[in-house]
C-alpha cells in the first residue's frame, strides 16, 4: 500500500471527450494544475462519432432565430422533465460556446454569406412550435463531432493541458466526511496503479450504450463514471431514459445521422410508404427521436418491415442527388457503403432503432456540481465531485434528447464546470485528506480482480448482460419482462463478483480494462433496470405497453436511483427559468 | 468448413524476450467480417491478446494495424479485402516501438503532429459572432481536416521510418497544410519558417504509400506539394 | 526547428530547388551529347576536340559539371542522413563524398580549360 505513487492536481478531469476537453481548456487557461485522464487518446473518444451537428440559435440560417424557441423545443423534446433553468442556461449560453469553437478553428460548413451552415433537425421549431420547421443545427458536413473533438484537443495542446492518456480511472476516493478527494487510476501502458489526489474530480466519462447488445456507441462507452459514482454510493437520475436512435445501420449498429432526414431523406416501409406521415403529420420524419423510433418499431411489429425477416425499414436518400450527398453527407455515404453495402445515391439504407444516448446520469446543477439528496429529499451538493457531458444529468434532455443538443451540452456544461471550478479553487478548497483505509476501500475492486483465481469469463458475462438489457429494456417495455430482467441482473451481479481475470500482467493489459469496465456496465444496467421498472408511465424514451400514457400527476419528476438500497426515489423537476416564463407541460405531438 | 488461419504478432515486454508470431484459427461461418470482429472473437478465447479499438466505424483511428502487409483500420477492413489463400497476418504498425502485441507507442507520431502547431492561430481580435468564411474558402479544408490520426500513413512511409524524429511525416504535414490553407489562420509565415529545413517537409520523396493506405481516402502527398509551392512562392 | 550544417543550401527549399534545376541542366546536356553523337556517326578526335574548343561548349560543360557536383552532393547527403545512423560513420562518409566531388570537379575543370 505504502509503495503506491500519488499524483496531486487542483482538478482532475476523467474523460477526454468533448465535455472533458472543454472543461480542461477552461482550467488550463486559468493556470490551475489540472490534468485530463482518459482511457483512450482523446481524439478516440466517442464525441468523434457525432455526425449531424450542434444545435444552437446562432441566427445564421434564420436571422430572427431565438434561443427561447430552442429552449421550448428542448423542454418539449424532453417531455417536460427537462430542468428549465438548465435548458435556459444551455440555450442562452449556447451561441457564445459555438462562436468560441469557431474561433478555435472548428471547420464549420458555410452558407454563401460566410456564416455557419445550419440544417434542420428533428423536433426543431420556430416561434414556440407555431412557426414550422427550424434549421438550427450547425454542421461541419456530417463530421461535426470529429471536427469539434479535434478542435478542442488542438486548443488544449495550444494551452499546454496535461494529459494522462491511456489511463483508466478505477474508483473514486472519498475522505471520512464523504467528500470526493480524487481517484485510483491505472496507467494502461505499464499497469501501474496510482492514487490521484484532487480538489475537484470531474466525471466526463460519457455514455454507456454498451449495456445494450445493439448500440451506435463506441466499444469504450461502458459508463465508467456512472459505475464509479454508484459504487461510491451516489445516486443517479433518470437512468431509465435511454434514447434509441431511429437510424442505426441494420446489423452493424453504426449511426446514420438525423441530418440525413434534415437534408430531405425519409423513412419508408416495405410498401415504399413514407410512414412517418401517419405518425407525425406535421414534422413527419423530423419528429422527436423517441417518436420516430417507436413508429419504426410499430411498422416492423405490424408486418411492414423490410428485408427477408421484415425486421428493419429503409432510409431513402437517393432523391437528394449526388451533389448534396457528397457535399453534406460524405461520411454517411462512406459508412453506408462499408457497413450496409448500399450506395445511398442508388439504394436506400437499411436502418433500425439502436441504443444511442443516456439521458440520465449523475445529477448536477448548471455548474456541474454533483447532487445527492439528504434524508428529507432536499438537494445536497457532493463536495469535490463534478460531472458534465453525457455522464451528467443536468438535466437538459429530460426524457428524450433532441438531435444536436448533445454536442451543445458538452461544450456549454464542460465550460460551465471549468469556470465554476476555477472560481472555487480561487476561493480555496480544503478537504480532509483520504486516510489509508479510504484509499484501500477504493482499491478493493481492482484487488478483487487481481486476486481472482477462477470463475466465468468477462466476455461471456458481458454478452449476457447486453442480451438481458436488449430484451427487457428496449424501445417498448413492460412489467413482467422487466421484473424478469431485474432478477437476471441480480443473479448476474453475483456471478460478475466471482468472475475470473486470467491475464494479470501489467503492460497494456486490455483484459484488465475490460474486466473493470464490466463492473461499470453492471452498475449502469442495474440502475437502468430498476429505475425503468419503477417509472410506471410512458414518457419520452421510456415507453411501456402496460402504462401507455404520460402520468403528470405522479411522474412529472426525475427518478433518483439510490445504489445502497437499490431503491428509486423522486426529485423535483425545475420549472423556474430565470428570464423566461415557464413552459407548462402540454400534450406532446409533432 | 475451412477455418480462417490468423497469424498474429505477439510481444509482451514482461514475459517475452523477443516477439513471435502466434497462429490462431477462427470459424467465420463464411461471413465477410471486419478484421476487428475477428480480433474480438480471438480476444474472447485468448484474453492476453492486446490491441486498441474504440469507435469500430473508422472515425476514431484507434485500430490502425498492418493486415497482410498493408496498413489500415481493422474495423473497416473486411476479410474479403485482405485475406489471401484463407490466411490473415496481423502485425503492429511498422516503424514505431511495440508496447504490446498490436499496440504501438505512438509518441513519436504525436510529437510530430504537435510540432506543426495544429491549432488555428489568429492574432486579430475575434468578432462577436463567428469569423466569416466563404464556402469556397471552406472547400479548401476538405480532404484535410478529416484526418483521424490513425498513423497508417506515417508508419507506411519509408522517409518517416528513417527519420521519425525530424521528418514531420504525411499525417502531420496534412494537418500543417490544413492550417496553412485556412483563410482564418494568420500564422502562415511562422508556419512556413518552421518547415523549410531539409527534413520537416523535404524528406518526402513522393513515394505515395500514404495515399495508398489512408483509410479516409486523403492525399497527404498533394498537401505536401502544396506546402512546397507555398515555400517556393514565399522564398523567391 | 531542425538545424543542419552539412547540407548544401542550408535550407530544404534551396536544396530541393538546386536538385531540380541541376536535374534539368543535366538532362539538357545529356540530350545534347546523345543527339550530337547520333548526328555525327563517324566521329573522330579532331571533330570531338573541336567541339570542346568552342567557348560556349566549355561553359555548357562546366555548367553540367557544377550541376552534377551539386546534384550528387544533395542526393548523397540525403542518402547518408537516411541510412547512416551513427554520426561518426555518417560524417566520415560525407567527408569522403565531398572530397571525391571536389577532386572530380577540379579535374573536370582542368580537362575542360586546360591545355
Please identify which of the residues A22, A136, A289, A571 carries the catalytic annotation.
Answer: A289
Q: Assign A342 a pLDDT band (cuts: 50, 70, 90).
A: very high
C12–B196 CB contact, under 8 Å = yes
Please state whether at least 3 CB pairs lie below 8 Å between chains C and B: yes
Residue A337 is given by DSSP the state I
Asked whether residue A192 carries a pLDDT value surpassing 90, the answer given is yes
Distances from the Cα of A93 to the Cα of A26, A100, A129, A528, B131, angstroms: 15, 11, 21, 31, 18
pLDDT at B120: 98
The tens digit of pLDDT for each residue in A144-185 reads 999 999 999 999 999 999 999 999 999 999 999 999 999 999
- Percent of chain B past pLDDT 70, that is, above it, reads 100
- On whether residue C24 sits in a domain, the answer given is yes
Q: What gap in Å lies between CA A399 and CA A588, rounded to an integer? A: 12
> Does B41 contact A at CB distance below 8 Å?
no
- The grid cell for B145 is 481536416
Name which of A202, A205, A183, A206 is nearest A26 in CA terms: A202
Task: Report chain B residues whose CB lies below 8 A from the CB of C7.
Answer: 198
- Percent of chain C past pLDDT 70, that is, above it, reads 94
The tens digit of pLDDT for each residue in B155-204 reads 999 999 999 999 999 999 999 999 999 999 999 999 999 999 999 999 99
Q: Is A476 helix (H, G, I), strand (E, B) or coil?
A: strand
Asked whether residue A387 carries a pLDDT value surpassing 70, the answer given is yes
List A residues 550-569 in contact with B (Cβ-Cβ < 8 A).
none
Q: Assign C1 a pLDDT band (cuts: 50, 70, 90).
A: very low
Task: Report chain A residues whose CB lies below 8 A from the CB of B133.
Answer: 110, 114
Q: What gap in Å lies between CA A172 and CA A441, rounded to an integer? A: 9
Name which of A244, B146, A320, A330 is nearest A338 in CA terms: A330
- On whether residue C5 sits in a domain, the answer given is no
Task: Report chain C residues whose CB lies below 8 A from the CB of B190.
Answer: none
The yes-or-no answer on residue A294 being catalytic is no
How much is the average pLDDT of B52-72?
A: 97
Asked whether residue A559 carries a pLDDT value surpassing 90, the answer given is yes
Asked whether residue C2 carries a pLDDT value surpassing 60, the answer given is no
* A18 compared with C114, residue with greater pLDDT: A18
The minimum CA-CA distance between B202 and chain A, rounded to whole Å, is 25
Model's pTM, two decimal places?
0.96
Q: What gap in Å lies between CA A270 and CA A261, rounded to an integer? A: 18
ipTM above 0.85, yes or no: yes
Name which of A102, A113, A123, A132 is nearest A61 in CA terms: A113
The tens digit of pLDDT for each residue in A197-253 reads 999 999 999 999 999 999 999 999 999 999 999 999 999 999 999 999 999 999 999
The tens digit of pLDDT for each residue in A24-43 reads 999 999 999 999 999 999 99
How much is the average pLDDT of A423-431?
A: 95
Please state whether at least 3 CB pairs lie below 8 Å between chains B and A: yes
* CATH number of the structural domain spanning residue C35: 1.20.1300.10
> Does A326 contact B at CB distance below 8 Å?
no
Instruction: Please give the mean pLDDT across all residues of chain A.
Output: 97
Nearest chain A alpha carbon to B150: A44
- Name the maximum alpha-carbon separation found in chain A: 69
- On whether residue C4 sits in a domain, the answer given is no
- On whether residue C86 sits in a domain, the answer given is yes
- Quickly count: other Cβ atoms within 10 Å of residue A278's Cβ: 12
- On whether residue C2 sits in a domain, the answer given is no
Task: Report chain B residues whose CB lies below 8 A from the CB of C5.
Answer: none
Count up the domains in chain C and report the number: 1
B55–A46 CB contact, under 8 Å = yes
The minimum CA-CA distance between B134 and chain A, rounded to whole Å, is 4
Asked whether residue B235 carries a pLDDT value surpassing 90, the answer given is no
pLDDT at B43: 96
Q: Assign B1 a pLDDT band (cuts: 50, 70, 90).
A: low
Task: Report chain B residues whose CB lies below 8 A from the CB of A254.
Answer: 56-57
Q: What gap in Å lies between CA A264 and CA A270, rounded to an integer? A: 20
Mutate one of A94, A107, A505 to test the B interface: name it (highest B CB count within 10 A). Answer: A107
Of the candidates B47, B132, B141, the beta carbon closest to that of A503 is on B47
- Percent of chain B past pLDDT 90, that is, above it, reads 97
Q: Assign C115 a pLDDT band (cuts: 50, 70, 90).
A: low
Give the range of the structural domain holding residue C86, as residue numbers without chain letter. 10-113
Asked whether residue C7 carries a pLDDT value surpassing 80, the answer given is no
Amino acid at each position: 500500500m505504502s509503495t503506491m505513487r500519488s499524483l496531486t492536481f487542483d482538478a482532475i478531469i476523467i474523460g477526454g471527450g468533448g465535455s472533458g476537453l472543454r472543461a480542461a481548456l477552461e482550467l488550463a487557461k486559468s493556470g490551475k494544475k489540472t490534468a485530463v485522464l482518459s482511457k483512450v487518446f482523446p481524439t478516440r473518444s466517442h464525441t468523434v462519432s457525432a455526425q449531424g451537428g450542434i444545435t444552437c440559435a446562432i441566427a445564421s440560417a434564420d436571422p430572427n432565430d431565438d434561443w427561447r424557441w430552442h429552449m421550448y423545443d428542448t423542454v418539449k423534446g424532453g417531455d417536460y422533465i427537462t430542468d428549465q433553468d438548465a435548458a435556459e442556461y444551455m440555450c442562452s449560453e449556447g451561441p457564445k460556446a459555438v462562436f468560441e469553437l469557431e474561433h478555435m478553428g472548428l471547420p464549420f460548413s458555410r452558407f454563401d454569406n460566410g456564416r455557419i451552415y445550419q440544417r434542420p433537425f428533428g423536433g426543431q421549431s420556430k416561434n414556440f412550435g407555431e412557426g414550422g420547421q427550424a434549421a438550427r443545427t450547425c454542421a461541419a458536413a456530417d463530421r461535426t463531432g470529429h471536427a469539434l473533438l479535434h478542435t478542442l484537443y488542438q486548443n488544449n495542446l495550444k494551452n499546454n493541458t496535461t494529459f494522462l492518456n491511456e489511463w483508466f480511472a478505477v474508483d473514486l476516493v472519498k475522505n471520512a466526511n464523504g467528500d470526493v478527494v480524487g481517484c485510483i487510476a491505472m496507467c494502461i501502458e505499464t499497469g501501474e496503479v496510482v492514487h490521484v489526489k484532487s480538489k475537484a474530480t470531474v466525471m466526463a466519462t460519457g455514455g454507456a450504450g454498451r449495456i445494450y447488445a445493439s448500440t451506435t456507441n463506441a466499444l469504450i462507452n461502458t459508463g465508467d463514471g456512472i459505475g464509479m459514482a454508484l459504487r461510491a454510493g451516489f445516486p443517479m437520475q433518470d437512468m431509465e431514459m435511454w434514447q434509441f436512435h431511429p437510424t442505426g445501420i441494420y446489423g452493424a449498429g453504426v449511426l446514420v445521422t438525423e441530418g440525413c432526414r434534415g437534408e430531405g431523406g425519409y423513412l419508408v416501409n416495405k410498401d415504399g410508404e413514407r410512414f412517418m406521415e401517419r405518425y407525425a403529420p406535421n414534422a413527419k420524419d423530423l419528429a422527436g427521436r423517441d417518436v420516430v423510433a417507436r413508429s419504426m418499431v410499430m411498422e416492423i411489429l405490424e408486418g411492414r418491415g423490410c428485408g427477408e425477416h421484415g425486421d428493419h425499414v429503409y432510409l431513402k436518400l437517393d432523391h437528394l442527388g449526388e451533389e448534396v450527398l457528397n457535399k453534406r453527407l460524405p461520411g454517411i455515404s462512406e459508412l453506408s457503403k462499408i457497413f450496409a453495402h448500399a450506395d445511398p445515391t442508388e439504394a436506400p439504407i437499411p436502418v433500425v432503432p439502436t441504443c444511442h444516448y443516456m439521458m440520465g446520469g449523475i445529477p448536477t446543477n448548471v455548474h456541474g456540481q454533483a447532487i445527492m439528496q439528504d434524508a428529507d429529499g432536499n438537494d445536497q451538493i457532493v463536495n469535490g465531485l463534478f460531472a458534465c457531458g453525457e455522464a451528467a444529468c443536468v438535466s437538459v434532455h429530460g426524457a428524450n434528447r433532441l438531435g444536436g443538443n448533445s454536442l451543445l451540452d458538452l461544450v456549454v456544461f464542460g465550460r460551465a464546470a471549468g469556470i465554476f471550478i476555477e472560481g472555487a479553487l480561487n476561493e480555496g478548497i480544503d478537504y480532509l485528506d483520504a486516510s489509508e483505509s479510504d484509499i484501500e476501500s477504493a482499491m478493493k475492486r481492482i484487488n478483487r480482480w487481481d486476486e481472482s483465481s477462477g470463475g466465468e469469463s468477462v466476455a461471456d458475462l458481458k454478452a449476457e448482460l447486453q442480451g438481458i438489457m436488449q430484451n427487457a429494456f428496449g424501445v417498448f417495455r413492460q412489467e413482467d419482462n422487466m421484473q424478469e430482467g431485474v432478477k437476471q441482473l441480480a443473479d448476474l451481479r453475483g456471478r460478475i463478483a466471482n468472475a475470473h481475470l486470467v491475464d494479470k500482467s501489467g503492460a497494456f493489459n486490455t483484459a484488465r480494462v475490460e474486466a473493470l469496465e464490466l463492473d461499470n456496465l453492471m452498475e449502469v444496467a442495474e440502475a437502468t433496470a430498476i429505475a425503468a421498472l419503477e417509472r410506471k408511465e410512458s414518457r419520452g424514451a421510456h415507453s411501456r405497453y402496460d402504462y401507455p400514457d404520460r402520468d403528470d400527476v405522479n411522474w412529472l419528476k426525475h427518478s433518483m436511483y439510490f445504489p445502497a438500497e437499490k431503491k428509486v426515489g423522486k426529485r423535483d423537476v425545475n420549472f423556474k427559468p430565470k428570464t423566461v416564463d415557464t413552459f407548462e407541460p402540454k400534450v406532446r405531438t409533432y | 468448413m475451412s477455418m480462417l488461419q490468423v497469424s498474429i504478432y505477439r510481444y509482451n515486454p514482461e514475459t517475452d524476450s523477443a516477439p513471435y508470431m502466434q497462429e490462431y484459427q477462427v470459424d467465420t461461418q463464411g461471413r465477410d467480417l471486419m478484421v476487428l470482429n475477428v480480433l474480438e472473437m480471438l480476444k474472447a478465447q485468448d484474453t492476453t491478446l492486446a490491441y486498441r479499438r474504440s469507435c469500430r466505424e473508422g472515425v476514431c483511428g484507434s485500430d490502425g494495424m498492418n493486415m497482410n502487409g498493408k496498413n489500415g483500420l481493422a474495423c473497416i477492413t473486411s476479410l474479403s479485402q485482405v485475406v489471401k489463400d484463407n490466411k490473415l497476418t496481423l502485425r503492429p504498425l511498422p516503424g514505431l516501438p511495440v508496447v504490446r502485441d498490436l499496440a504501438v507507442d505512438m509518441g513519436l507520431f504525436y510529437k510530430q503532429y504537435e510540432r506543426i502547431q495544429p491549432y488555428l492561430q489568429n492574432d486579430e481580435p475575434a468578432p462577436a459572432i463567428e469569423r466569416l468564411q466563404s464556402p469556397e474558402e471552406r472547400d479548401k479544408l476538405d480532404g484535410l481536416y478529416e484526418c483521424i490520426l490513425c498513423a497508417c500513413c506515417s508508419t507506411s512511409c519509408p522517409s518517416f521510418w528513417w527519420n521519425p524524429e525530424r521528418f514531420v511525416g504525411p499525417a502531420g504535414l496534412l494537418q500543417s497544410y490544413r492550417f496553412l490553407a485556412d483563410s482564418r489562420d494568420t500564422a502562415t509565415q511562422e508556419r512556413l519558417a518552421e518547415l523549410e529545413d531539409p527534413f520537416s517537409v523535404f524528406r518526402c520523396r513522393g513515394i505515395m504509400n500514404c495515399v495508398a493506405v489512408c483509410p479516409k481516402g486523403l492525399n497527404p502527398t498533394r498537401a505536401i506539394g502544396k506546402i512546397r509551392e507555398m515555400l517556393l512562392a514565399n522564398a523567391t | 526547428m531542425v538545424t543542419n550544417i552539412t547540407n548544401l543550401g542550408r535550407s530544404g527549399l534551396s536544396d530541393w530547388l538546386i536538385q531540380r534545376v541541376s536535374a534539368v541542366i543535366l538532362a539538357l546536356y545529356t540530350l545534347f551529347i546523345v543527339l550530337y553523337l547520333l548526328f555525327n556517326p563517324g566521329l573522330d578526335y579532331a571533330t570531338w576536340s573541336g567541339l570542346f574548343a568552342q567557348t560556349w561548349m566549355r561553359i555548357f560543360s562546366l555548367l553540367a559539371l557544377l550541376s552534377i557536383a551539386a546534384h550528387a552532393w544533395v542526393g548523397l547527403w540525403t542518402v547518408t542522413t537516411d541510412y547512416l545512423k551513427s554520426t561518426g560513420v555518417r560524417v566520415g562518409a560525407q567527408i569522403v563524398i565531398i572530397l571525391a566531388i571536389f577532386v572530380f570537379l577540379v579535374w573536370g575543370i582542368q580537362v575542360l580549360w586546360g591545355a
